[in-house]
Structure 1
Amino acid sequence: RLVMKKVKFSTTSRDVNKVCDEDNQKDVRPPYFEVEDIFNTTTRFCSFEGEYTIHAFGDFLKTRFVSDGSEDLIPDIQYTILEEEHCCGGVFYHKYSSSLKSNELSATTPGYPDFYNASTRCPYIFRCRPDKKGAKCKIQVHFVDFELESANQETFNRLDGRFPDENTMIVASEGPFANRVDNQTNGCKNKDQVWVSTCTTLFTSSAQRFCSVNEPSKSITAEEQILVYFQSNAKREDRGFLINYHAVDENGVSPPIKNSTAC
Structure 2
Amino acid sequence: MQTRPAYALTSVDNTLRLLQLLRDTGRLRLKDAAEELGIAPSTAHRLMAMLVYRGFAVQDEGRRYQPGPALGVGPVTSSRNRQLRTLCAPFMETLCEDTGETVNLSVRVGTRSRFLFTVESGNVLRVGDRRGAVLPAHRTSGGKVLLAELDDDAVRRLFTSPVAETGGDALGEADLSALLHELGQIREQGFAANIDATESGVSALGVALRGPSGRAVAALSISAPTFRSDRLLARPVRAVLFERRRQIEEELATLADPDE
Same fold (TM over 0.5): no
Query: Where is the helix percentage greater, Structure 1 or Structure 2?
Result: 2
Task: Give the TM-score of the pair, scaled to structure 2.
Answer: 0.31
Report the TM-score when normalising by structure 1: 0.31
> Which protein shows a greater Rg?
1
